[in-house]
Amino acid sequence: MMLQEFEKLTGIYPSGELYEAIEAAYTDFNGDKQAFCKAYKANKDALAETVQHAALRVRCAAQDKANAKEKAHAEQVAALEAEIARLKEKLEREEEWQPFEDEHNVSQADYEAIAGTPDVRELSDEEAADLIAKEFGFDRSKITIVHEVHKQEINRHRQLRSVGMIPRKALFDVWDWNYICFNVRGNATMGYEMHNGELQMYWR
């Protein structure tokens, strides 16, 4: 029996899933198309209910299969992620990463010594830029005060990586006890540190 025939004889328009169950029931039905459609429409001997339950079982089985497949995939992904994490941890140990500070830059210990001075004053960006422009002759409009520097690590292969940022304020106590980190824009942006009145490049 064709779907169109069933629809015409019953006035019922089933989903594709339900019609597959209807076809299966019709195959087992003792009678012709007209008799089957009449019995289905009247739910004779709970025919329509039985068909709908069969369709529901098929749907549930398909959903269970899909859920099982999704669960297996999730478990596989979790296992792969755990293996990646294990390998990363192993690589981390083998590379022997250690804290690193470029000797050309102001160390964190030297900065903290200034920051810990009772009378030291935090400069605003405007004050710091004005001081830099006045003392070192940079174009004031091209100066940007930097508020943090990279926290770095180095491994046994001498490779560097950034593992975060360290706050650095613009600080001033007296002319030989101060710190400002800043950039100067030009054809290339250059980084500098003023440390205790002296100017030096900041190596990133």
Model pLDDT for residues 139-162, shown as the tens digit of each residue: 999 999 999 999 999 999 999 999
**pLDDT band at residue 6 under the 50/70/90 scheme:** confident
- Quickly state the pLDDT bin for 169 (edges 50, 70, 90): very high
Distance CA 152, CA 201 (A): 17
Distance CA 10, CA 2 (A): 12
Query: Over the stretch 26-69, which tens digit does the pLDDT of each residue have?
Result: 898 999 999 998 998 899 999 999 999 999 999 999 999 999 99
Phi, psi of 139, deg, nearest 5:
-65, 120
Total-model pTM:
0.60
What pLDDT was estimated at residue 158? 93
Average pLDDT, the chain: 94
